[in-house]
Structure 1
Amino acid sequence: MAISKFQAIVQQKCPRCHQGNMFVHPSYNLIAYQKMHSNCPVCGLRFEIEPGFFWGGMYLSYALNVAQSVTLGIATYFLLGDPSPWVYLSIIIGAIFLFMPINFRYGRVLMLHWFSPIKFDTSYSK
């Protein structure tokens, strides 16, 4: 049974078959979180469509980082009553490092699912 596009994005699955994992290791593996399969293990799709394709993923990762930082800044203001700038910096920079593997991965996943010509094909799903 095929999963939805949203589920495929959340579970970091191939955009064509929605079944193959895009990354070799789970995201909590902080040593090799960035190691990605070159081809989908299920349908054989080459993930890097052209050289430098994932440079766009870097910009998406940056956008995720900015959204996260703004959200944390606003939450810090309301929850802690406008603390010193060092508290803001500590919380935001700590969160940037904490969420770095997730932002890196979702930058690439969103790049493949949203900005590539690859579409879901039921003939590749098992």
Structure 2
Amino acid sequence: MALTKNQAILKQKCPRCRKGDMFTHSTYDLGNFQKMHKNCPVCGLRYELEPGYFWGAMYVSYALNVAQSVILGFLTYYLFKDPSAWVYLSILIGAIFLFMPINFRLARVLMLHWFSPVKFDHRYL
């Protein structure tokens, strides 16, 4: 049984076959978290559909960072009763670095699953 689109996004799988891994190493292998397979190991889909395709993922990553920062800002305000600016900055900058590998990967996965012409192919079931 094939993964749903949301499951494939969360597990960082190929958008066409939903079986092949997109990345070569684990998320928190900090020296290699950004390394992707050039092609899907299962169906052979080339992930970088055109030169510079993943430049668009920077915008997706930016949106993820903004959403996380707004949520953390509100949580900081309510949990710490409106602390000083240094507390906000420390929490937000720490969170940005902590979530960086996740946001990097998720942005690329979302680019392929949501914004590319690649569709799920039922032949790979």
What interval of TM-score do these two structures reach, taking the shorter chain for normalisation? Answer: over 0.9
What residue number does 2:72 align with? 72
What residue number does 1:89 align with? 89
- Superposition RMSD in Å: 0.5
What residue number does 2:51 align with? 51
| CA-CA distance at 1:124 after TM superposition | 2.2
| CA-CA distance at 1:84 after TM superposition | 0.1
TM-score of the two chains, using structure 1 as the length reference = 0.98
Amino acid in the other structure paired with 2:7: Q
SS in 2 for 1:42: coil
What residue number does 2:14 align with? 14
What residue number does 1:41 align with? 41
Q: Answer yes or no: is 1:124 the counterpart of 2:121.
A: no
* Counterpart-to-counterpart distance in 2, 1:124 and 1:101: 29
| CA-CA distance at 1:57 after TM superposition | 0.6
* Counterpart-to-counterpart distance in 2, 1:124 and 1:43: 8
* Counterpart-to-counterpart distance in 2, 1:34 and 1:62: 16
* Runs of 5+ consecutive residues of structure 1 not aligned to the other structure: none
What residue number does 2:29 align with? 29
What residue number does 1:107 align with? 107
Amino acid in the other structure paired with 1:66: V
* Counterpart-to-counterpart distance in 1, 2:40 and 2:57: 18
* Counterpart-to-counterpart distance in 1, 2:122 and 2:28: 31
What residue number does 2:61 align with? 61
Amino acid in the other structure paired with 1:32: N
- Deviation >2 Å, runs of 4+: none
* Counterpart-to-counterpart distance in 1, 2:58 and 2:36: 15
Amino acid in the other structure paired with 2:104: F
Query: Identity across aligned pairs (percent)?
Result: 72
TM-score of the two chains, using structure 2 as the length reference = 0.98
* Counterpart-to-counterpart distance in 2, 1:50 and 1:24: 20
* Counterpart-to-counterpart distance in 2, 1:58 and 1:36: 16
